[in-house]
Chain A
Amino acid sequence: MKLTRREFLKLSGITGGTIAASSLLSGGLKTLIAGAKGSLTTVDERTPTTCWIGKQECGLLVRKVNGRVVKIEGHPAHPRNQGTLCPKGISQIMALYDPNRVKTPLLRTNEKGIPGEWEPTTWDEALRIVGERIKDVRARDNDLLVWQKGRSKAGNFYDTAFVKASGATKLHHGGFCSDAGYRACEYTIGLHGVLHPDFRHARYVLSWGWNATNAGGNKLCWLTWPRQLVKAREAGMQMAVIDPRLRGAAHFADDWLPIRPGTDLAMALALCNGLIEEGTVDWDYLRQYTNSPYLVNEEGNFVRDGDTELVWDQASGMAVPHDTPNVDAALEGAFDFDGEQVRPAFQVFKEHIAEYTYEMAEEICGVPAQKIQKVAQDLGENAMIGSSIEVEGSVLPYRPVSIMAYHMAQQELGFQAIRAMLMVTMLLGAVGAVGGQRSDFTWKIHGNYEKLDEIEIGDPPYNIYLKNSQYFPINSNNSSLVSWVQQNPENYGVDTIPEVVILHMVNPLTAFPDQRVMIDTYKKFKFVAAIDPWLSKTADYFADVILPAATLEKYEGPMGVSDQYTDAQSLRVPPVEPLFQSRGEIDIYIDLCEHADILYGEGGYIDQINQAFRFEEDFALPLNSKPATRDIFDRWARSEGIEEGVEFFEQIGLHDKGSVPATSYYGYATDPVFGGAVHRLYGESLLGYQREMRARGVDEIYWQDYTALPTWRKPTMDLSPDDYDLYLISFKMIEFKQSRASQIPLLAELAPQSFLEINPVTARERDINDGDEVWVESHNAVTLETRRVKVTAKYRESIRPDVVGMPHHYGEVARHPWAQGQGPTPNELFFTGEGYVANTADQSFHVKVKVSHV
């Protein structure tokens, strides 16, 4: 029996009074006739907390019997998981009690670049050593210090306060995840996210890429999206899937378009062209809320009067400022303005995409033209352009069609592909409409909407991730590229190579391609400290010091845990004390900062925490005394108006903030509409960046995708020789998704080995049987390098014959008995650098390979 939100609120009295977590469990079944004989000495308790192992911070109830955790279950009232958990969430009990965790601080005693030999040491000694190194580089040049994260679970403490207090350069993981999509959405509609549906009202969803059921998705992880997907389907929602593999969407696909990898941009533009040809376009939206009517001159720039873009007023036959009241702006046509031909941006777009016919898309994407046409028609029909619906008293446009896309953004043309996909739903007027295209939980305009439009490309020297550089003006901060640049910094105008790196729950050697480049880079760091519960492969080969972090058993957060419809806050609360000698990361940073002389006083870590949380007056931490982590959360909870403080979370684990109101959820319901952001169909500034890059003499490979409108070209990988005749794509499995988990015994048992999915037709041509060992060799079309791994082939009818697929996740933890012999990660085959990153520096997970029998 699942607890409803109403019952939970009643139980928790909303904010007043606390209850025992065990009362959250309500049985609904009739019990059997006789009861069980219970033991009187058993202490059976449940601690509410927040999941640690995954991406999306589900709520937990941790059951302990006599102090021993015996099971981890879902928090029944949590908006994201409502009493349920994914396989990882349940199995993290084995991560908690894993005797192969790093148990004490460790010092390396042998040379780097080979598996480490380690000597246990005290926390004091380990922190002293790391602190001294931080002090040393900070005294010389702050650029020598790097903080690199995998997934950060308390951004205010780590990404913000520690990075600011230490002055480190921060390296992200997003350039491996979906950041090309984030940049595309920030630039185009001002929202920080990729693409997801409003499932509550959706009628037709285009699931693009492998995320629908098989792991992950925008903003949320796997568990919440499929819950919403299943409900929507039962309410009649149709779903078409565009992906080289069917596995990710499984039987939820009403239609499957097995697309050739890297061609998504062409498919999206063909859909746009089809929608215009079919006449299913929301003209009102384009005219009022996008830059479609802005006049573009022959050079590709907007025509302006001062700072204001002009549109063509059809009533007066004149160019007038776009904000002229009652203007009847033309979207199509060509006009004469001051002796020059000018066209509305939409006309430029229409002409630009006219060549992207269904037939051309068939040729490029390898999907029959009729199937693409059917998707365009289904989109057009289901969009119900012109319709409206009442939500919470407001009548809003109703356009129940959208695209769901996430990890597929990481491809060479990713930024422009996501822009093109967004244009599909823009044409339909679905962006921000009820049932339409979402990108974030609320319609909050992100700072990058302006920033990405007005980047000032700087002169060298550049920092290690080439921020504001002439190579990647829009820049997602890709650690692989950082490593690539460090091989030849002089080629990129980089003159400072960092000496010290702090690895925060990150394992670049396995998690990021290209592995050989990574190895060369980490060799160059003079000092590497790893904060990690396990001995990652990177730490094993390159760390000088390892600081053992706790897993679930610590205070961490706070987390916003909206499921997009209901908002809530949660904390991670330790169900048991940190095991072995591990410690929570916040505790580690407090002590580390003390050793590095950056804890106290103005600008110190404590001060940065105050600023990150906006703690003022009574809530502010004193700058001259060391805070306790629990006390910081107590202040935070009280500053949020929760009178019981941190105890509220220790008792019931969840602060319900209620339904997300339509006025902050729907772009059409915000004031001003869409948060005041004009949607950029036409990317004038992108063209501007191209011009400047060319003026600076930068090679075409950098500027070619900085175009005002998405423009198809063959991905660089297609230049590999013909015998590299297959595309390798990668995917993630629900068993391990979003975390280092293949060493967890329960999960390793479910999916013990890496494998290569291959179509039987393709396999038989190569005399490969199901289950055979094969060589997969990748080729870099730019450097001509090759990489090779041995892996087990698995027949799949549900994958394109010219594509092979491999899961990520394997090989993460070094020398763990459960991680032995699990086989390779595809990151051994992918490349980084030119041709294998997007124009936004985002990593591509595509490469051409050949497959042969061992």
Chain B
Amino acid sequence: MAKYGMVIDISRCTGCRACMEACKVENNTPQGSFFMYVFRFEEGEYPNTRIWFMPRPCMHCDNPPCVKVCPVGARYKMAEGFTATDWDRCIGCRYCEVACPYGVNYFNWRNPAESHYLNWEDDREIELILDGEVLPYANPDLELEYGPEMRHNAGGGRLKGVVEKCTFCIHRVENGLDPACAANCPTNALHFGDLEDPESEASQILHEQSGFQYLEDVGAEPRVHYVGGHPPTTETREIEIVNVRV
């Protein structure tokens, strides 16, 4: 059985944020919700300045604080490495959001359809051009059930009052495809694969290069590893910040 993870090569990342957009369109997330986020960082003082970028998906931790606090088993760990959310079962208590050291959980305060980019429910013009059928800006794959447990874990549902986060695009992985962010990365900085398989590209990169895990000392044991750079420090400043909550 494959056990998936991601290796992110910071030295390749140009900070373009295309992964954020590939994720948003693939997963149909509402405004302010970024299952994948890319930090743009500045360090040092002029002229000894450095700029670098750090993509941040869900870490899909092996010792996940979010799973431990979920009172209903909606957040659960899959044998294949995914830290999954069953949106059908989530009650929206937001404990996971508090427990997560990485800030990857997004609570749907509103009906996500209202904070989608186009208000599909109200626009008659769109209804007209789409033959009277108001198709939402949505990926139908997200509504299906995935994994051996056959649960609603693909970031679908779009329900008010539930928590959502990066799913590692389980609906794509199920079909043999990389998660949307990794599949799209123009400079191939995101490597998704079976970290238990020494032959996988991700394993090999991790084997060849010394890496780090973000906030390693927290002990959550992330399945996302970084190579080609260093972790942010207290001297690292975020620039070109995107407002991630509305």
Q: Does A222 contact B (CB under 8 A)?
A: yes
Nearest CB in chain A to that of B154: its residue: A36
Residue A227 contacts which of B24, B49, B118, B186 (CB distance < 8 angstroms)? B186
Among candidates B47, B135, B170, B186, residue contacting A84 with C-beta atoms closer than 8 Å: B186
Closest residue on chain A to residue B126 by CB atoms:
A99
Q: Interface-forming stretch among A63-71, A147-155, A391-399, A661-669?
A: A63-71
- Asked whether A246 lies within 8 Å of B51 as measured between CB atoms, the reply is yes
> Does A325 have its Cβ within 8 Å of any Cβ on chain B?
no
Task: Look across to chain A and name the residue whose beta carbon is closest to the beta carbon of B175.
Answer: A27
Are B49 and A86 interface neighbours, CB within 8 A? no
Check B223 for interface membership: any CB of A closer than 8 A: no
- Asked if A749 and B52 make an inter-chain contact with CB atoms under 8 angstroms apart, the answer reads no
State whether A91 touches B25 (Cβ < 8 A): yes
> Complex formed: what's the CA distance from A39 to B46 in Å?
57
Please determine whether B118 and A746 come into contact, CB atoms closer than 8 angstroms.
Answer: no
| Alpha-carbon separation in the docked complex, A67 to B46 (Å) | 53
Stretch with Cβ within 8 A of A (4 or more), from B8-16, B58-66, B97-105 = B8-16
Given contacts A91-B21, A258-B47, contact A97 B187 (CB under 8 A): no
The answer for the CA separation of A384 and B25 in the assembled complex, in Å, is 48
A378 within 8 A of B: no
With a cutoff of 8 Å between Cβ atoms, the chain B residues found around residue A39 in the complex are 140, 144
Residues of chain B with a CB closer than 8 A to A798's CB: 42, 46, 49, 51
Chain B stretch 1-19: residues in CB contact (< 8 A) with chain A: 1-2, 11-12, 14-18
- Would B174 and A68 count as touching, CB distance under 8 A? no
B118-159 near A? 1/0 per residue, CB < 8 Å: 100001011001100001011111001111101000000000
> How far, in Å, is A754 (CB) from chain B's closest CB?
12
Q: Decide: B49 and A746 in contact? CB cutoff 8 A.
A: no
Binds A, one of B67-75, B87-95, B176-184, B213-221: B176-184
Complex contacts, B239 vs chain A, CB 8 Å: 794, 796
Identify which of B2, B15, B18, B126 contacts A90 (C-beta below 8 A): B18
- Measured between alpha carbons, how far is A25 from B177 in the docked complex, in Å? 8
Separation of A33 and B170 alpha carbons in the complex (Å): 12
> Taking the complex as formed, is B194 at the interface, i.e. its CB lies under 8 A from any CB of chain A?
yes
- Residue from the list B31, B42, B137 in contact with A797, Cβ < 8 A: B42
CA distance A34 to B153 in the complex (A): 14
Q: CB-defined interface of A74-103 with B at 8 Å, one 1/0 digit per residue?
A: 100000010111110111011001110001
B242-A749 in contact (CB<8A): yes
Whether, in the assembled complex, A282 has its beta carbon less than 8 Å from a beta carbon of chain B, the answer is no
Which residues does chain B contribute within 8 Å of A32, judged by CB atoms?
80, 146-148, 170, 173-174
Q: Is A356 an interface residue (CB 8 A)?
A: no
- Interface residues of chain A: helix, strand, loop or mixed (majority): loop
Distance in Å: Cβ of B6 to nearest Cβ of chain A: 12
Decide: A31 and B175 in contact? CB cutoff 8 A.
yes
A34 CA / B130 CA spacing, docked (Å): 35
Nearest chain A residue, comparing its CB with the CB of B192 = A29
Contact B25 A71 (CB under 8 A): yes
Q: Which residue of A lies closest to B241 (CB)?
A: A794
Residue B185 lies at the interface, judged by CB distance under 8 Å to chain A: yes
Residues of B within 8 A of A72 (CB): 25
With both beta carbons as reference points, the residue of chain B lying nearest to A39 in the complex is identified as: B140
User: A31 to B46, Cβ gap below 8 A?
Assistant: no
Known A85-B22, A90-B184; judge A29-B47 contact (CB<8 A).
no
Find out whether the CB atom of A222 lies under 8 angstroms from the CB atom of B16: yes
A29 engages B184 (CB within 8 Å): no
User: With a CB–CB cut-off of 8 A, which chain B residues contact A42?
Assistant: 140
In the complex, the answer to whether A251 meets B52 with C-beta atoms within 8 Å is: yes
Interface members, chain B 223-246 (any A CB < 8 Å): 229, 239-240, 242-243
Contacts of A139 in B (CB 8 A): none
User: Are A71 and B176 closer than 8 Å at their CB atoms?
Assistant: no
Q: Out of B45, B51, B139, B176, name the residue touching A29 (CB < 8 Å).
A: B176
Whether A33 lies near B25 (C-beta < 8 A) is no
B141 to chain A, nearest CB (A): 7
Alpha-carbon separation in the docked complex, A33 to B18 (Å): 30
Contact of A230 among B12, B31, B50, B193 (CB under 8 A): B12
Q: Which residue of A lies closest to B139 (CB)?
A: A70
Interface size class of A (residues with CB under 8 A): 35 or more
Residues of A within 8 A of B106 (CB): none
A749 near B17 with CB under 8 A, answer no
| Contacting pair A734 B178 (CB below 8 A) | no
CB distance from A236 to the nearest CB of B (A): 13
Q: How far is the CB of B46 from chain A (nearest CB, A)?
A: 5
A contact residues around B184 at 8 Å (CB): 73-74, 83-85, 90
A28 touches B242 (CB 8 A): no
CB of B47 within 8 A of CB of A27, answer no
For the complex formed, measure the closest distance between the CB of B17 and the CB atoms of chain A, giving whole angstroms: 5
Interchain CA distance A72-B137 in the complex, whole Å: 12
User: Contact at A86–B18, with CB atoms within 8 Å?
Assistant: yes
| Cβ 8 A contact of A734, one of B16, B47, B145 | B16
Q: Give every chain B residue within 8 A of A99 (Cβ-Cβ).
A: 118, 123, 125-126
Q: B20 within 8 Å of A by Cβ?
A: yes
Q: Which residues of A have CB within 8 Å of B18? A: 84-87, 89-90
CB <8 Å contact, A745 and B42: no
Bound complex: CA A2 to CA B183 (Å) = 8
Q: Which of A36, A73, A799 contacts B145 (CB 8 A)?
A: A36
Of the candidates B17, B26, B51, B130, the one whose C-beta lies within 8 Å of that of A87 is: B17
B79 to chain A, nearest CB (A): 9
- Asked if A226 and B187 sit within 8 Å, CB to CB, the answer is yes
Bound: A811/B183 CA distance, A: 33
The reply to whether B117 and A250 form a contact with Cβ atoms under 8 Å apart is no
CB-CB under 8 A from A226, the residues of chain B are: 14, 16, 186-187
CB distance from A272 to the nearest CB of B (A): 24
Residues of B within 8 A of A797 (CB): 42, 44-46, 49
The 22 sampled A-B contact pairs (Cβ below 8 Å) are A1-B177, A32-B173, A34-B148, A36-B141, A36-B145, A36-B171, A37-B144, A65-B140, A70-B137, A70-B139, A71-B139, A72-B25, A84-B18, A89-B18, A91-B21, A226-B187, A258-B46, A745-B117, A749-B32, A750-B21, A750-B242, A796-B42
| Interface residues, chain A, with chain B CB atoms under 8 Å away | 1-2, 25-39, 42, 65-68, 70-74, 81, 83-87, 89-91, 93-94, 97-99, 103, 213-214, 222-223, 226-227, 230, 233, 246-247, 250-252, 256, 258, 579-580, 734-735, 745-747, 749-752, 759, 761, 794, 796-801
Closest 10 CB pairs of A and B: A27-B176, A745-B117, A84-B186, A213-B14, A250-B51, A798-B49, A90-B21, A68-B135, A251-B52, A33-B148
Q: A39-B140, A84-B184, A87-B20 are in contact. List 19 more A-B contacts (CB 8 A).
A: A29-B173, A30-B194, A32-B80, A34-B147, A36-B174, A37-B144, A42-B140, A68-B135, A85-B22, A90-B184, A94-B117, A226-B186, A250-B52, A251-B51, A746-B117, A750-B17, A796-B239, A798-B42, A798-B51
Q: Which residues of B contact A (CB under 8 A)?
A: 1-2, 11-12, 14-18, 20-22, 24-26, 31-32, 42, 44-47, 49-53, 80, 117-118, 123, 125-126, 129-130, 135, 137-141, 144-148, 150, 170-171, 173-178, 183-188, 192-194, 229, 239-240, 242-243
